[in-house]
Chains A and B, each alone.
Chain A
């Protein structure tokens, strides 16, 4: 690849960043995200999976916040604060990987549906529309229940049920890109399917994919917590399984507000951060939205 292309790309990234920096909500979201991810990554330096062990709970059961356990304890006397810290690793990991899986499926099928005219594209589009109609949470529940609730199967269950909207978005974008004259020029020079889709279509849809992935992570985290709460997730500590525990042990009727409030607030905070970030990205990348947002 020529250096000219790289100079051009670096300039456009700089321009993009300069624009993104001016969006306050997006920057706040990004800040929260960076903090959350860094905390999750450095957790093993301070604590280990032992904090989620049922027998390791040293505190009083269902105790309100105190100096020992700043955010209270759960039904086995484990510290809610430490559990949340450790659980953020599972929640974020599943969120990121499920969104990634969904994006990969959505991009490949979306480009395929847009690029290949005729029956192949029609079949892909038909399958996409079929998946789009299926109630995604119900399907994900069935998938997770059948495959067993390990981290990998939860990721698959979320990824497999959430890709269709991405595929539609990418398909529309592919159609728009392929209508441009330089594709015709490229075809005339003998470019094949692979060259056109990876060298021309993909770079053009990539910015949109970034925004879409960010929003997808948000909804993947919500879905993960819902699946865990509804009990299809194996007992690896995440924010969702903690809330499941609070429900099973009657925290609501026992008045153990910290056990319900804190994990939920973490979910809301992280999900909102992803959403704010994703929306800011969308606004920066989509000039049509820019004029409207005002």
Chain B
């Protein structure tokens, strides 16, 4: 018995390695495409970038030339391209015009709050979406199902920023008899205490941004999980489980949900780009000092070096997440392995 299992497992293991290698190669190609696209995108800027940078500042032509040389804009496009690729490979994302500091340092400072906010929101949205979606899909057409579908339809139609504004108006600014319960901006108060008090203060600041992000992303997880469970309900093994006399709840929890979970969880990672978009919006509204806000500020100034650096980082991380999801799916789901 064990021998048979080993024989079966061996080629599968090799297949996985080959699969992972192929996916990693694909991801590398995608990242290379992102780097090339970024270079040309940011050289498409209409007009003279130096003049745009110098807007509103008194600069002599000599100073402008100096600035041009400093940014490497006096060289030919192929030279600029090689320089850009070399810099990017050394993780040198240039210096922010607005902050006068290396972009990578700025990103390093901002990455923590973003991971905290999106991580928390993602865990909450995924658990809630999967739980509700599984119950809704199990009894299609039931009152719970109709309610869930309606809720997700409404949330899907609500722009993230508008939901944030509403929450800001009702729970932060306070309206009518409701006092302002939560802070309107930032990650912590100026006079926040140390230690545990600080943690509480940050949590207090995180309630509204987190709620906004959860509400917006959870709807699609619900819908995906619902249709995924719906697929399972019609399967023969569910009928068998019923025939064995298992309780309805047990069939759902132990048979249908685990099988429906796989496609859903992968999709969670596949659509991480959507979450990133939501995070940018939420961070902008609640002045959450994360990557999204950094990106938003870079667009507002506009600070093109900073925009380029954050754009590169965001896209590359999304690509890596997707590749990881592909490989994990391959490991977890034996059904796709033979394909």
Contacts and interface: CB of A to CB of B under 8 A. Distances in A.
Given A230-B281, A260-B169, A267-B159, A294 B274 contact: no
B277 A142 contact: no
A244 B184 CA distance: 17
B165 A246 contact: yes
A252 B173 contact: yes
Interface stretch (B72-80, B245-253, B256-264, B295-303): B295-303
B314 A272 contact: no
B314 A138 contact: yes
Contact of A271 (B157, B230, B295): B157
A255 B30 contact: no
Given A141-B299, A257-B175, A268-B154, A133 B319 contact: yes
Contacts of A134: 34, 273, 315, 318
Interface in B152-185: 153-154, 156-162, 165-166, 168-169, 172-173, 175, 184
Contact of B314 (A135, A143, A225): A135
Interface stretch (B38-46, B96-104, B193-201): B38-46
Interface in A228-276: 229-232, 243, 246-247, 251-255, 257, 260-261, 264, 267-268, 271-272, 275-276
Interface string A132-159: 0111111101110111100000000000
Nearest to B33: A130
Contact of B157 (A138, A254, A275): A275
Interface in A8-24: none
B273 A218 contact: no
B159 A225 contact: yes
Interface of A is mostly: helix
A117 interface: no
B280 interface: yes
B161 A226 contact: yes
Contacts of B45: 146
Nearest to B300: A231
A243 to B, nearest CB: 6
A243 B165 CA distance: 9
B284 to A, nearest CB: 6
B161 to A, nearest CB: 5
Contact of B166 (A136, A231, A255, A260): A260
A138 B277 contact: yes
A272 B172 CA distance: 27
Contacts of B140: 292, 294
A191 B153 CA distance: 44
A62 interface: no
B65 to A, nearest CB: 24
Contacts of B41: 142-143, 146
A264 B168 contact: no
Given A135-B314, A252-B165, A260-B169, 15 more contacts: A133-B322, A134-B273, A134-B318, A137-B278, A138-B276, A138-B280, A138-B295, A226-B160, A226-B277, A230-B161, A230-B284, A255-B175, A261-B166, A268-B157, A275-B156
25 contacts: A126-B29, A130-B30, A133-B319, A133-B322, A134-B315, A134-B318, A135-B314, A135-B315, A136-B273, A136-B277, A138-B276, A141-B280, A145-B299, A146-B42, A147-B46, A226-B159, A226-B161, A230-B161, A230-B280, A231-B299, A246-B165, A264-B159, A272-B153, A272-B154, A294-B140
